[in-house]
Every structure is written in C-alpha cells, then in structure tokens.
Amino acid sequence: MARINVLNPQQQTAAPKRLGRKRWGGAAPYLFIFPWIFGFLVFTLGPLLFSLVISFFDWPIVGQVTFVGFDNYVEMFSDDPLFWKSLMITLKFAALFVPLNIIVALGLAMLLNQKVKGSAFFRTAFYLPSVISGVALAMIWSWVYSGDYGILNYFLSVFGIEGPDWLNDTKWSLVAMVIASLWGQGSMMLIFLAGLKGIPKDLYESASIDGAGKIRQFFNVTVPMITPTLLFNLITSIIAAFQQLTLALLLTGGGPLKSTFFYAMYMYENAFKYFKMGYSAANAWFMFLIVLTLTFLVFKSSEAWVFYEGEMKKAKPKHVKRRIPAERGVDA
Amino acid sequence: MRKIITYTLLVFCSLLFIAPLFWAVTTALKSPQELYLFPPKWLPSVWRFSNFAEAWSIQPFNLFLKNTVIVTLLSTLGQLISCTLVAYGFARFQFKGRDALFLIVLATMMIPWEVTMIPQYMEFNYLGWINTLKPLIVPSWFGSAYFIFLLRQFIMTLPRELDEAATIDGAGKMTVLARIIVPLMGPSLILVAVFHMMSCWNDYLGPLIFLNDQTKYTLTLGLSQFRGMHGVDMQSIMAITCLISIPPLAVFFFAQRYIVGGIATTGIKG
C-alpha cells in the first residue's frame, strides 16, 4: 500500500486518508468495483469463452453434445450457401450504410451548428426517431413503404416518379433498410454536434482572412478538427451495421428471396430457430473476428488521419493541414 | 441569403424526420375506410380516439405494460446503484491493476452482444430464468461499461478536497460517496437513468430471446405480435406504436438538456 501512496502524491498529503484505509483495509476499492468484476466474469468473459468452446461442438439445446473440432467452421465456409449470402448482404449493407450514416449525421450536425432560431426544436426533430423503439420504427416504416398506400410512394408520385413496392422488391428492399436505419441516426448527430462545438471559432476567422472559401474551410478546418469524433462514429457505425437485426426481423423477415437476410439474422435463426447452438456460436465468433479486424484496420489507419489537439503528443501534425493559426500573425 | 438556405434545409430535413411520425399518429386516428385511400389523406375526416382503447384491448397490453414497467424500473435502479459504486471505485482509489481493469471495462463495449448471446441464453436456461423477467433485470445490477465510463469521467472532475474535508470530519468511504459525491452527480445520474430507461423500454431482442410465454411479454413484443396477425388493421398497429412511444418521448422531452450535455461529457468529442 505504501508503494501506491508514493505513486499518488495527492493521497500522500492527505493524512486522514489512512484512517479510512485502516477501517476498510486494502479491500475497499475492490469492494466498490466488485459488481462490475462479478458481472464481467458471469455475463461477459464467461459467456465469451464459453461461446468459443461451444463453437467446437455440435451442441443442440436438448440432446447429445459432441465434440466436432473445426467442423462448424469448415461447414460454414464450404457447405453453407446461406452463410456466404448473408455475409455478402451484410457487407453490402455496411458499404451503403456506414458512409451515408456519417454523411447524414455530419450534415445535420453542421446545419444545427449554425446560429439559428429554434435550434432546440430542430435538434429535437432530428433526434426524435432515436427515442422510439426499433419495433415501433419498423411498424411505421412498413406502413410508409407500403407499395399501394404508403406515403413514400405518394411523395414520389407528386414528382411523377412511380415508386417500387419497397419491401417486396429484391432490388429495393436493402435500400429500404438503409433508409430506415438512417432515420435513427440521432445520437451520432449529437456526437458530431458536440465535436463541432469544440472547434475554436478563431480558426474559421483566420481561415477566411486567408481567403479560404467555405469549402476549403470545411476540408482544412472542420474535417481535421473533428477527426477523433469521426473515428468514434466510424467504428460505432461499422459495429451497428453488422448487428442490424431488429429492423430486418420485423420489416422483411429477411425476405423477399433472402435479399435482406443479414448475417445477424442468419446467426439468430441458427441458434433460436434450428437450435444449432454450436454452429451459431461459430457464426458469432466469425462475425466478432470480422468486426475486430475492421475496427483494428480503422484504428491503424487513424494514425494517419486522426488529429488529437494537444491531447496526445504522439499525433503527427505533419499529416494535418493546420497551417492556418500559424499564418494568422502574418495577415493580421 | 445564407440564412434562408439554412432555414430551408432545416425545415425540409425536420419534415423528413417528423412526417413518418405524424403519419403514424394520424393513421392511428383514422377509420378503417380511410386507411387505404390513395392518394392518402393526411388528416382523418373523423378523429377516432376510440381506436386507441380498441387496439389496446386486442391483446393483454395492460399486462405487457406492467411487465415493461417492472423491468424498466428495477433494471434502471440496479444500473444507477452499481454504476455509481463502480465508477467511484475507479475514480477515487489507487489499487493494483486498476488501469488494466479499467481498460477491460472499456474493451467490453466492443464485444457484440451476439457473441455472448448464446452462452448467456444457456446460462439463464440452466438457472431456470428463461421465461421470467430476471434475464432482463439482473445483469443491470452489475453495471454497464458505458455508464461506468461516463460516471467515472464525471467523478474525476470533482475536486478531491471535498472528499478529504469529509474524511477529516470522520466520514467513511461510503458516507463520502453518499453524502458528497452522489448529490453532486445529479445531472450525470439523470442521464444514465434516462438512457437506460429508454433502452430498456425499447428493447426487443432481449425479451424476444428470453421470454416465450405471452403473460411475460413486454410492450415491444406485444406490438411485434401484430405482425402476421390477420384481421388487425393498420390503425390498431399505429395506435399501439404511438401509445408505447409516449413514455420515452416524455422522458426525452424533460431530459433533453441532460442528453445533449451528457454526450459532450463522455470524452469522445474532439
């Protein structure tokens, strides 16, 4: 304990601290964090490791459990067309959803960041769908998308466009999923808004003195300054894209013709429809590995494009076009 | 000129976000004859408020409401207590392995629920908790990484001198937490409560997997039952959709400044 005190000068000066420590012994901090330790072991680490174990077994919910080695994984890759199909659908969804989600959330955040009257109203309007249950959202969208009676097609018909039967058309069902998912992007928008509010105003002032137009200001000031937020949102979007399940279960049930049969749904059905627990655990681990790899790659690449202002000395300013503040003196 | 463009865009976008909700509300109020008109009528000619009561009685929604309230309240209470204790432990003590453990806390946010879902299901099945509300409540009593992180960040901003003054007066650690720290944590605790209440109330996959008896259903499961039920009109579905969305909307309305402020204090902003 003495060693720890040396590490923390603040506690060293506080003599009465020792009183408390004597009464509680060295166990006090562990008692405080005990709920998390217990929960972590029982609801996270235990299940995590156990799911790895299960993935090497043929493990029905009732009946004989047999060790099958890598068979589940081999079957997945070589003998299960649904695996590939659902994986491709999820990748396609992610490729559409992730960039659009970022663009929409950032666009809305930038709109809200303008000095306007009633910003609280607009903020609420954009965030509203995120407050509502995914089930309710799915119900609303199934009605909006209705080919015959839906308002979306009515809206399109006003412009002379004949809309498809969104959820029953294999060409459009995935797009419909993307649009419905984008509708609930509220928290990402708020996170961007917080990031935008953190950009010092004088950066823009000096940029405009330098003659930078709005577009150059966006790419040379806004984007570099919000890269940490961008990184966070990029990673959470990727994870969200891979976990998309509620909407698919309720809007299309994976159809039509499996065109919205996401990987998460494939996993869900293997586990809770066919009760192939071992096989589904293997599915889950494969998804985990994909998400980890993607996250790792994003993190790795972030060294080149994320700029931490003053927070991390390791950041390499040479990658960041932030020459504006330095030039301020010259122009002023 | 720029102002005009900004306002136009803002109004247009907020219409895009509100229109489907508005459509849901007006659908809930329409009579069956008006449901399937094309071009659609935005407002019902007769406002049938009785639709709400009728839709509510199609299934035992009173029971679903009771289950949902039980789950939401108990689970939120657990979340508040456990996350406060754990966050305090991480924020105010020096101990062996603290930083490593805290890193693990953060890392658990990265694990998709799908990976632990099957063993958790088997675990709860083993404990005999399937088809009870316990799987939806008990885990919350052991903290969740996101809230622990959020509360720890907040406690770190409180000056230690406060703790020390109380300790000199003879207060133990628990007293310091209960009398000094918690009263100062008000807004952060409200944020945790609001976020967790909303996610509990809106949860679908948890109840879907852990519950199979209709008497245990939550509201979201009850609503999803309408899908594929024959003879249920869209206005009933929309009526239930609107009704079960009221509590989270109300909570959001009263707590929005904590939500917006809370995101700024999570430490993820630029």
Q: DSSP states of A49-64 as a string? A: HHHHHHTTEE-BSSS-
For residue B121, the chain A residue with the least C-alpha distance is A47
Report CA B207 to chain centroid distance, whole Å.
14
Which pLDDT does position A154 carry in this prediction?
86
In sequence order, what are the residues at sequence separation of 6 or more whose Cβ sits closer than 8 angstroms to the Cβ of residue B176?
Answer: B163, B166, B167
* Cross-chain CB nearest to B6 (options A10, A114, A135): A114
Same-domain check for residues B40 and B89: no
Element (H, E) at A217: helix A214-217
The CA distance from B50 to the nearest CA of chain A, in Å, is 20
Residue among A286, A305, A283 at smallest CA distance from A228 = A305
Same-domain check for residues B28 and B131: no
Cα B263 to Cα B19: distance, rounded to the nearest angstrom: 27
The pLDDT of A61-84, averaged and rounded, is 91
The pLDDT of B127-148, averaged and rounded, is 94
Residue A4 lies in a domain: no
CB contact under 8 A, A23 and B244: no
Which pLDDT does position B215 carry in this prediction?
93
Same-domain check for residues B158 and B132: yes
Read off the amino acid at residue A237. Answer: S
Which pLDDT does position B262 carry in this prediction?
63
Cα A157 to Cα A147: distance, rounded to the nearest angstrom: 12
The pLDDT of A18-39, averaged and rounded, is 76
Considering only CB atoms, which chain A residues are within 8 Å of B121?
271-272
CB contact under 8 A, A191 and B269: yes
Read off the amino acid at residue A26. Answer: G
Question: Please, which pLDDT band fits residue B265 given cuts at 50, 70 and 90?
Answer: low
CB contact under 8 A, A127 and B245: no
Degrees (nearest 5) of the Cα angle B142, B269, A229? 100
CATH number of the domain that residue B126 is part of: 1.10.3720.10
B2-29 and A119-131 helices, crossing angle to 10°: 40
Provide the domain count of chain B: 2
Which pLDDT does position A6 carry in this prediction?
37
Same-domain check for residues B69 and B35: no
Whole-number mean pLDDT of chain A?
Answer: 83
Residue among A270, A323, A321, A302 at smallest CA distance from A54 = A270
> What are the tokens at A153?
């097609």
* Cross-chain CB nearest to B205 (options A141, A245, A309): A245
At residue A312, does pLDDT exceed 50?
Answer: no
Residue B52 lies in a domain: no
Question: Choosing among B11, B36, B115, which should be mutated to test the A contact, i.e. which has the most A CBs within 10 A?
Answer: B115
Same-domain check for residues B174 and B239: yes
Same-domain check for residues B96 and B130: yes
For residue A264, the chain B residue with the least C-alpha distance is B114
Residue B228 lies in a domain: yes
Residue A210 lies in a domain: yes
Same-domain check for residues B30 and B134: no
Residue B54 lies in a domain: no
At residue A310, does pLDDT exceed 60?
Answer: no
Residue A222 lies in a domain: yes
Same-domain check for residues B14 and B144: no
The CA distance from B35 to the nearest CA of chain A, in Å, is 8
Same-domain check for residues B143 and B105: yes
The pLDDT of A106-118, averaged and rounded, is 89
Which range marks the domain in which residue B198 is found? 59-267
Query: DSSP of B88-139, one letter per residue?
Result: HHHHH---TTHHHHHHHHHHHTTS-HHHHHHHHHHHHHHTT-TTSSHHHHGG
Please tell me whether residue A66 adopts helix, strand or coil conformation: strand
Residue B83 lies in a domain: yes
Question: Please, which pLDDT band fits residue B171 given cuts at 50, 70 and 90?
Answer: confident
Read off the amino acid at residue A81. Answer: P
Strand A66-67, strand A57-58: pairing: antiparallel
Whole-number mean pLDDT of chain B?
Answer: 88
Same-domain check for residues B39 and B65: no
Residue A168 lies in a domain: yes
Considering only CB atoms, which chain B residues are within 8 Å of A19?
167, 170
CATH number of the domain that residue A192 is part of: 1.10.3720.10
For residue B205, the chain A residue with the least C-alpha distance is A246
The CA distance from A88 to the nearest CA of chain B, in Å, is 18
Which pLDDT does position A325 carry in this prediction?
41
Weakest-pLDDT range from A259-268, B42-51, B213-222:
B42-51
Residue B204 lies in a domain: yes
Q: Can the peptide bond before residue B207 be classed as cis, meaning omega within 30 degrees of 0?
A: no
Q: Which residue has the higher pLDDT, A232 or A41?
A: A41
CB contact under 8 A, B23 and A199: no
pLDDT digits (tens, 9 = 90+) for B32-62: 888 877 777 788 888 889 889 988 998 999 9
Which range marks the domain in which residue A125 is found? 57-137+164-307
The pLDDT of B201-206, averaged and rounded, is 93
Considering only CB atoms, which chain A residues are within 8 Å of B241?
136, 139-140
Question: Choosing among A12, A58, A139, which should be mutated to test the B contact, i.e. which has the most B CBs within 10 A?
Answer: A139
- Number of A/B CB contacts below 8 angstroms equals 287
At residue A319, does pLDDT exceed 50?
Answer: no
Residue B92 lies in a domain: yes
Same-domain check for residues B28 and B162: no
Q: What is the percentage of chain A residues whose pLDDT exceeds 70?
A: 85
Same-domain check for residues B37 and B66: no
* Cross-chain CB nearest to B142 (options A43, A134, A228): A43
* Cross-chain CB nearest to B17 (options A128, A136, A228): A128
Put simply, the chain A residues between 170 and 209 with a CB less than 8 A from any chain B CB are: 183, 187, 190-191, 193-195, 197-199
Considering only CB atoms, which chain A residues are within 8 Å of B96?
4
Cα A206 to Cα A208: distance, rounded to the nearest angstrom: 5
Put simply, the chain A residues between 45 and 74 with a CB less than 8 A from any chain B CB are: 46-48, 50-51, 54, 61
CB contact under 8 A, B111 and A280: no
For residue A223, the chain B residue with the least C-alpha distance is B270
Question: Choosing among A23, A58, A133, which should be mutated to test the B contact, i.e. which has the most B CBs within 10 A?
Answer: A133
At residue B92, does pLDDT exceed 50?
Answer: yes
Provide the domain count of chain A: 1
CB contact under 8 A, A35 and B141: yes
For residue B149, the chain A residue with the least C-alpha distance is A36
CA distances from B94 to A16, A107, B151 (A): 16, 43, 17
Residue A91 lies in a domain: yes
Cα A161 to Cα B242: distance, rounded to the nearest angstrom: 30
Alpha carbon dihedral A98, A101, A107, A109, in 10-degree steps, equals -110
Put simply, the chain A residues between 258 and 317 with a CB less than 8 A from any chain B CB are: 264, 267-268, 271-272, 277, 280-281, 284-285, 287-288, 291-292, 295, 309
Q: Which residue has the higher pLDDT, A224 or B71?
A: B71
